[in-house]
Amino acid sequence: MHHATRSGHVGGNLSCLDALMTLHHRVLTPDDRFVLSKGHAAGALYVTLWSRGLLTDEDLGTFGQDDSLLPGHPSGTGIPGLLFSTGSLGHGPSLATGLAMAARHARSQRRVFCLCSDGEWQEGSCWEALSFAVHQRLGNLVLMIDQNGLQGFGTTEEVASCGDLAPRLVAFGAEVVRVDGHDFHALERCLTAPAGQAPRVIVMDTIKGRGCHYAGRLESHYLPLSDEELELALSFTSSPIP
């Protein structure tokens, strides 16, 4: 999809694809809700929905084109399960927190899952949402942070002295779990663990651009794949969900 449209953001899609596949195939129920805060990972979301039969090959073939159902950042009304248009980072945790609070008022057992990038946790809105969620004891809220260590202008450490987010999240009173973001079984265990009295934050250690020659490098944030790079990426194999 990204190769055909000569579009970037391949890296951030590949770092969270395993988590999205695990969440949508093994965890989400029809009553649960999902928010993709890191909207630039739209491609990973679309492929996940396709793998569940919710989008077609023809839909994927229009990715990133004029009048497409599937823009480079998710928006519109035709994408299955999409509640909000996202792409401007830092809003997802607040939106998900609102959904979790609404579920409590409705006396619903609904869970709310939100996938974030690590770079967007440099924005104050994320911490305000977490502070509110902890105070309200929203145990039905699960925040998933794709901690690949890279953002638009360098590493998160170089840009804002923000490497591992886990200690800061713990200090806010959240239930924090750190996991290999490419381990399907570990992800499933974290995502399906019984809810506690505090929101759960799953810090997923991932590799940006996993499976590409520039995996773990800043190039994966911006650059599209050449023909040779696409061939290499397609030859990469990962353990499937059994």
Q: Give the pLDDT of the chain (242 residues) as one tens digit per residue.
A: 888 888 878 889 999 999 999 999 999 999 999 999 999 999 999 999 999 999 999 999 999 888 888 998 999 888 999 999 998 889 999 999 999 999 999 999 999 999 999 999 999 999 999 999 999 999 999 999 999 887 888 788 888 888 899 999 999 999 999 999 999 999 999 999 999 999 999 999 999 888 887 777 877 777 888 888 888 888 876 655 44
How many residues are recorded in the chain? Answer: 242
Domains in the chain: ranges and CATH: 2-40+90-234 (3.40.50.970)
Amino acid at 54: L
Q: Give the whole-angstrom CA distance, residue 95 versus residue 124.
A: 14
CA angle 38, 196, 90 (to 5 degrees): 20
Q: Give the whole-angstrom CA distance, residue 68 versus residue 61.
A: 9
Q: Give the whole-angstrom CA distance, residue 240 versus residue 52.
A: 15
Q: Give the whole-angstrom CA distance, residue 77 versus residue 220.
A: 29
List the beta bridge partners of residue 36: 115
What is the Cβ-side half-sphere exposure of residue 228, based on CA atoms within 13 angstroms? 2
